[in-house]
Amino acid sequence: MDRQEEYLKLLFACELDLRAFIGSIVRGSHDGDDLFQEVALTLWKEFPRYDRARPFGAWARGIAAMKLMQRGDRVKRQPALLSPEAIDAVSRAFDRLETPVSREAQALEHCLDQLPEKSRQLLTLRYERSLSIEQIARELQATLDAVYQTLSRLRARLQDCVNRRLSSPELS
């Protein structure tokens, strides 16, 4: 995976949390969207300095917090919603929320990587492309029952794999 792919994968994985963090501080969706774009650009510029031992979401929120504080300094006519200390407290709260979800997401990603290509393709059709069972059956030239059965088995297999990974002490 090249640098750009890695960056995009990490950004997409934390995008909703990052937007929620920004939205919890910034008034108005347009301002939040503008700030998100600014943060995403800064993250890309700073990505070579990103320490992979640290969760990407926490690093991204740190940069967003800096941008929020800078924005508050620039816009004197519009009072800042939160003090730098309050922004830091919100960021720490998001850090506490991120850890369990991150572990689960990492476990799921590992388990998905272990599946055969054909199984991943089926899951992509259902969950990324949001196709109905009927559409999947037509596309794969399979029966409805076969698609239902295969998806059911894949979900059970993934759940078992994720549970094993999360309960394994050496993977914690």
CATH of the domain at 35: 1.10.1740
Q: Are residues 83 and 28 part of one domain?
A: yes
Dihedral (Cα; 30, 34, 36, 37), 10-degree rounding: 140
The pLDDT score that the predictor gives to residue 53 is: 82
Q: Are residues 136 and 70 part of one domain?
A: no
Q: Are residues 129 and 59 part of one domain?
A: no
Most confidently modeled range among 2-6, 66-70, 104-108, 157-161? 157-161
Give the C-alpha separation, 147 to 154, whole Å: 10
The larger pLDDT score, comparing residue 119 to residue 101, is at 119
Which amino acid does the sequence have at 2?
D
Q: Are residues 125 and 167 part of one domain?
A: yes
Q: Name, in order, each residue with C-beta under 8 angstroms of 61's C-beta and a sequence gap of 6 or more.
A: 17, 18, 21, 91, 94, 95
The pLDDT score that the predictor gives to residue 77 is: 40
Half-sphere exposure at residue 121, Cβ-oriented, CA atoms within 13 angstroms: 8
Residue 87 has pLDDT above 80, yes or no: no
The larger pLDDT score, comparing residue 27 to residue 57, is at 57
Question: For the segment 107-161, what is each residue's pLDDT rounded down to a tens digit?
Answer: 888 898 899 999 999 998 988 888 899 999 999 999 999 999 999 999 999 999 9
Most confidently modeled range among 28-37, 83-92, 100-109, 146-155? 146-155
Residue 25 has pLDDT above 70, yes or no: yes
Q: Are residues 123 and 90 part of one domain?
A: no
Split into its structural domains, the chain has a count of: 2
At residue 69 the predicted structure's pLDDT band, cuts being 50, 70 and 90, is confident
Give the C-alpha separation, 19 to 22, whole Å: 5
Residue with tokens 């990492």: 106
Q: What is the mean pLDDT of residues 3-10?
A: 89
The answer to whether 18 touches 36, Cβ cutoff 8 Å, is yes
Give the C-alpha separation, 125 to 46, whole Å: 34
Domain that residue 159 falls in: 115-172
The pLDDT score that the predictor gives to residue 48 is: 94
Which amino acid does the sequence have at 146?
A
The pLDDT score that the predictor gives to residue 135 is: 94
Most confidently modeled range among 24-38, 70-84, 93-107? 24-38
Mean pLDDT, the chain, rounded, equals 83
The pLDDT score that the predictor gives to residue 110 is: 86
The residue among 79, 86, 105 whose CA lies nearest residue 14 is 105
